[in-house]
Amino acid sequence: MDRDKLLREVAELVGAGLDRSEKIQKIADTVRLFGNYRWVGIYDVDEHQISVIAWSGIGAPAYPRFRVTQGLSGEAVRTRRTVISNDVANDPRYLTAFGNTQSEIIVPIIAEPGGPVIGTIDVESDQTDAFGNDDRLVLEECASLLAQL
């Protein structure tokens, strides 16, 4: 699947006549298959916590909800920027979701310019150096589409 096809599919799902949780689950599945990613999670963020609302891959994360200040996700929320850690074993910010994760990318979902982070896309790999600029760019575009939900 190419990048444009992924973005079209995500945009169609955002506009589909499904309930929010069904849309988000289908988007997580679509993103995981596009990138041949091991695991994709989509999280809601409020002022106190980050909570998984859908995932696609090897199973539920070890921490389905955690404080908004914790982990790489907390860093993405705080800085309002994508966080890539291509060697989580040596990253003190990493909050273990799966014991064999080696790389993780967290993309914040921001509904409006200057507004709060309302969610994140979390993608994990069992390989070091798994994520690059192409992953960041396409996942940031997906996050922009998810912000419309």
pLDDT of residue 10: 98
User: Chain-centre distance of CA 112, in angstroms?
Assistant: 18
pLDDT, one tens digit per residue, over 18-38 is 999 999 999 999 999 999 999
- Report the greatest alpha carbon distance in the chain: 43
For the record, the structure tokens of 119 come out as 């969610």
Write down the mean pLDDT value for the chain.
96
pLDDT of residue 99: 87
pLDDT of residue 113: 87
The whole model's pTM is what?
0.96
Q: Supply the DSSP string of 16-39, one letter for each residue.
A: SSS-HHHHHHHHHHHHHHHHT-SE
Amino acid at 129: D
Residue 123: burial class (beta carbons within 10 Å; 0-12, 13-18, 19+): buried
The full set of domains in the chain, from first to last, is: 3-146 (3.30.450.40)
- Does an H or E element contain 43, and which? strand 39-45
Residue of 125, 132, 109, 111 lying closest to 43 (CA atoms): 109
Q: CA torsion sign, 97 to 100 to 101 to 102?
A: positive
Amino acid at 82: T
Three-class DSSP category at 49: strand
Q: Does position 1 have pLDDT exceeding 80, yes or no?
A: no
